[in-house]
């Protein structure tokens, strides 16, 4: 245990890591404010509310209609607060949380393709005639209404937190073995009583604890700040209420039928798996490379390569077929995309979950075995 504590202290005590972690927290706060709170807008009875005032007003008007979403509630909302209005002349939209929900779920007859191609909503549409009604009816699920805007922001920010945690762990973990090589102390470490077994295990444990701990702290900060501004209502609302009903239908769970609580838990699970994979590869790079800088470069290339592959397929207009879809699913399994909430809906079938598990094992297990072997054999080199 002492070796583990010493290794964890070595990782966390570096000034650059402390500064970068503080920067990550500030980035998250900035993103929550500028990408969420400060952009909030609500029009009620002709009065426009912005920022925190808009959040309070939307929570206030939603509280009255909380519970099962019915045709009667939709009609009552339309009668009390009206339907969304598009001001094409001034490129403006007038909406609040409730009539925005009605519009996004096809519960009114309006549509907007562009500012020159739109139809003002004029009346409501029965739930049974909408995509939401058909999906929920087939699944035997009753959609519920609550102010779930906070969970939308939490989900988006968790994706950013996952990327920031990946950057932090690459900077922190790549020197674990490589620093011993560059400083000439690797042989000394391996010559100690615990060097060939317990010291390596302690470094492994410290690296994984740092990676998961960093993400847990960032995620906890996000949840706390979002809860402060938005509250935690709506965890039982369906993800699809934001207009996402046709995603994830190829042999898997229809993502729209997930509650926000379940969706966020799946997103966290995917992010944790991504962090574990990247930590394992970082340890491998650290054990193979002779300087921390080279190890960081190798790990960074591993991290961004899926993004480069995705960009190449997109720019070359790759044909939409089973092979391309499989390639995209493989790309989504790697840390860069696994941390993003955009990949959750496409990766819930049994086949894609097996693919994710297989890629995780194919990268993580050999990386750890090779890292252990390379560092142990260093003395003989």
- Residue-by-residue DSSP string for 199-252: HHHHHHHHHHHHHHHHHHHHHHHHHHHHHHHH-STTTTSBGGGGT--SSS-SSB
Residues with Cβ < 8 Å from 120, sequence gap 6 or more? Answer: 85, 86, 110
pLDDT of residue 70: 93
In 3D, which of 265, 236, 232 has the Cα closest to residue 143? 236
Looking only at the bridges linking them, the beta strands covering 67-68 and 117-119 are unpaired
Residues with Cβ < 8 Å from 300, sequence gap 6 or more? Answer: 170
Quote the CA–CA distance of 29 and 160 in Å, as a whole number: 11
What are the structure tokens assigned to 138, written together? 């087939």
Residues with Cβ < 8 Å from 380, sequence gap 6 or more? Answer: none
> Residues 106, 119: contact at Cβ < 8 Å?
no
Count of CB atoms situated within 10 Å of the CB of 43: 20
Quote the CA–CA distance of 34 and 18 in Å, as a whole number: 24
CA distances from 85 to 60, 110, 293, 366 (A): 21, 9, 55, 57
Quote the CA–CA distance of 353 and 254 in Å, as a whole number: 14
**What is the torsion angle, in degrees rounded to the nearest 10, for the CA atoms of residue 355, residue 356, residue 360 and residue 363?**
50
Q: Token pair 């444990």 is at which residue?
A: 205
* Buried-exposed string 227-239: b where 16+ CB fall within 10 A, e elsewhere: eebbbebbbebbb
Q: What is the DSSP letter of 340?
A: S
The torsion angles phi and psi of 48, rounded to 5 degrees, stand at: -95, 125
**Torsion sign (Cα): 62, 64, 68, 69:** negative
pLDDT of residue 368: 94
What are the structure tokens assigned to 220, written together? 């906890």
Half-sphere exposure of residue 280: CA atoms within 13 angstroms, side-chain side: 20
Quote the CA–CA distance of 21 and 17 in Å, as a whole number: 6
Q: What is the DSSP letter of 194?
A: T
Quote the CA–CA distance of 66 and 69 in Å, as a whole number: 8
Q: Can you state the percent helix, strand and coil of the chain, rounding each to 5?
A: 70, 10, 25
Count of CB atoms situated within 10 Å of the CB of 255: 23
> Residues 306, 337: contact at Cβ < 8 Å?
yes
Quote the CA–CA distance of 349 and 324 in Å, as a whole number: 17
Residues of the chain with pLDDT under 70: 88, 90-91, 182-197, 246-253, 341-343, 345-347, 378-381
């Amino acid at each position: 245990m002492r070796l583990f504590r010493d290794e964890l202290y070595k990782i966390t005590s570096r000034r650059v890591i402390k500064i970068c972690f503080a920067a990550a927290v500030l980035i998250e706060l900035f993103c929550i404010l500028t990408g969420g709170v400060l952009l909030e807008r609500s029009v009620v009875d002709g009065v426009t509310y912005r920022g925190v005032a808009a959040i309070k007003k939307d929570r206030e008007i939603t509280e009255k209609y909380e519970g099962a979403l019915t045709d009667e509630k939709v009609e009552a909302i339309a009668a009390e607060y009206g339907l969304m209005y598009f001001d094409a002349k001034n490129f403006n939209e007038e909406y609040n949380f409730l009539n925005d929900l009605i519009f996004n779920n096809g519960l009114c007859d309006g549509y907007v393709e562009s500012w020159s191609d739109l139809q003002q909503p004029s009346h409501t549409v029965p739930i049974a005639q909408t995509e939401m009604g058909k999906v929920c009816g087939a699944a035997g699920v009753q959609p519920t209404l609550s102010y779930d805007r906070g969970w939308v922001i939490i989900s988006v920010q968790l994706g950013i937190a996952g990327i920031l945690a990946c950057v932090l762990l690459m900077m922190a973990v790549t020197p674990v073995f490589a620093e011993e090589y560059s400083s000439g102390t690797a042989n000394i470490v391996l010559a100690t009583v615990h060097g060939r077994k317990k010291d390596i295990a302690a470094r492994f444990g410290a690296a994984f604890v740092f990676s998961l701990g960093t993400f847990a702290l960032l995620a906890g900060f996000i949840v706390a700040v979002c809860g402060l501004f938005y509250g935690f209502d709506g965890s039982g609302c369906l993800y699809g209420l934001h207009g996402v009903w046709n995603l994830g239908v190829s042999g898997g769970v229809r993502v729209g039928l997930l509650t926000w609580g379940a969706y966020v838990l799946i997103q966290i699970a995917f992010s944790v798996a991504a962090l574990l994979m990247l930590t394992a590869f970082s340890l491998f790079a650290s054990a193979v490379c002779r300087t921390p800088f080279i190890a960081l470069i190798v790990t960074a290339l591993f991290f961004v390569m899926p993004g480069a592959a995705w960009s190449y397929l997109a720019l070359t207009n790759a044909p939409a077929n089973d092979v391309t879809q499989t390639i995209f699913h493989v790309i989504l399994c790697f840390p860069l995309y696994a941390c993003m909430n955009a990949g959750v809906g496409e990766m819930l079938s049994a086949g894609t979950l097996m693919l994710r598990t297989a890629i995780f094992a194919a990268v993580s297990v050999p990386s750890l075995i090779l890292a252990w072997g390379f560092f142990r054999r260093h003395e003989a080199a």
